[in-house]
């Protein structure tokens, strides 16, 4: 925990602020570049543009951490599963073939992801030394949901597929774990300081399956990170009061709470970790006064604790950058 605290906390004032999806669609400078690059995967694999985009919110808001511009689905892509992003619908992956999946090898996987590592190197070179560079992976469960086409909508998955393919899923999980650890190691080697594990669809797992599909796979990756002295933040979004069990069992250096979690509950129940996040991104669409009142709730709750101010999910495209700028200034003055 202390290592993560030292890395994420701004050395000048012992406070830290960054935002999930801080480099993205709400920034006009991002939209300009994005309009010229319609293929999203190719866009992510353009090292120069990825680095430039990563640094855009740092230049604009002087945030304490940069998070590399990439996507969790870059891993299925690197494992030779075609990934397409359809406007207003989201990602679409080609039909999963386990035989093709098992034919992958480490060298070709690294080669396909090399542009990501180059982007990290460029970013680290151009990022101020006192600012941390965060990289990330998707957790096995969240990647699996996309890879086997189990996602029905934002709030529902086809769990019958999961039940029918229990043995196959164990094989996929084991292989995914290996490749995710390779990707983590190479991102750190390239210059990232911290890894965040996004389990974006953890909240869709039935309670009796949380251990098998969420806790254990996250634990394996966190253990790998600890063994290699890599600070790691987990984000098991949507698991509600199970955040407590997750934190006690997995013991990540940091844990990002989503906006369904009351900050005072988190203060009482999430021990021996750096707490991060919580604010509903929709709050940033409200008036300045409403934004400040909601921000104060988190700052007051976590006063005296290691806390990284962030959101409970990613920045919304309709967010006004001026609101973000005022929020950051308010946070630092509070």
Q: What are phi and psi of 105, to 5 degrees?
A: -135, 160
Q: In the annotation, is 178 catalytic?
A: no
Whether 31 sits among the annotated catalytic residues: the reply is: no
The answer to whether 52 touches 8, Cβ cutoff 8 Å, is: no
Catalytic residue among 26, 64, 71, 124: 71
Candidate list 26, 146, 243, 307, residue with the active-site label = 146
Helix (H) or strand (E) holding 66: strand 65-67
64 is catalytic: no
- Contact indicator for 90, 63 with CB cutoff of 8 Å: no
112 included as an active-site residue: no
Measured CA to CA, the distance from residue 250 to residue 244 in angstroms comes to 10
Considering the candidates 21, 124, 220, 237, report the single residue annotated as catalytic. 21
Question: From the candidates 34, 60, 112, 212, which is the catalytic residue?
Answer: 34
CA distance 225 to 228: 5
Coil, helix or strand for 77?
A: helix
CB burial string 226-246: b at 16+ within 10 A, e below: eeeebbbbbbbbbbeebbbeb
- Annotated catalytic residue, options 25, 112, 212, 332: 25
The residues annotated as belonging to the active site are: 21, 25, 34, 71, 146
């Amino acid at each position: 925990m202390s290592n993560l605290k030292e890395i994420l906390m701004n050395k000048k004032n012992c406070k830290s602020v960054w935002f999930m999806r801080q480099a993205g669609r709400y920034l006009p400078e991002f939209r300009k570049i994005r309009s010229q690059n319609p293929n999203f995967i190719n866009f992510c694999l353009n090292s120069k543009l990825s680095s430039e985009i990563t640094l855009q919110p740092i230049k604009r808001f002087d945030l304490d951490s940069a998070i590399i511009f990439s996507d969790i689905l870059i891993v299925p892509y690197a494992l030779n599963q075609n990934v397409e992003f359809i406007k207003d619908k989201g990602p679409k992956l080609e039909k999963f073939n386990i035989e093709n999946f098992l034919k992958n090898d480490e060298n070709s996987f690294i080669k396909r992801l090399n542009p990501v590592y180059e982007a990290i190197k460029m970013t680290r070179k151009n990022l101020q030394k006192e600012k941390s560079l965060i990289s990330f992976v998707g957790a096995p469960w969240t990647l699996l949901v996309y890879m086997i086409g189990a996602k029905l909508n934002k709030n529902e998955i086809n769990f019958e597929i999961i039940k029918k393919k229990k043995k196959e899923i164990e094989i996929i999980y084991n292989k995914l774990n290996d490749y995710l650890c390779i990707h983590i190691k190479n991102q750190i080697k390239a210059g990232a300081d911290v890894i965040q594990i996004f389990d974006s669809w953890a909240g869709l797992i039935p309670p009796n399956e949380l251990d098998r599909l969420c806790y254990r796979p996250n634990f394996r990756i966190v253990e790998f990170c600890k063994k290699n002295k890599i600070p790691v933040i987990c984000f098991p979004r949507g698991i509600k009061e199970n955040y407590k069990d997750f934190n006690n069992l997995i013991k990540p250096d940091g844990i990002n709470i989503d906006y369904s979690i009351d900050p005072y509950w988190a203060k009482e129940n999430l021990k021996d970790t750096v707490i991060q996040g919580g604010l509903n991104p929709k709050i940033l669409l409200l008036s300045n006064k409403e934004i400040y009142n909601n921000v104060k709730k988190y700052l007051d709750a976590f006063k005296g604790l290691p806390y990284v101010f962030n959101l409970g999910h990613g920045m919304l495209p309709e967010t006004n950058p001026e609101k973000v700028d005022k929020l950051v200034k308010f946070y630092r003055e509070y």
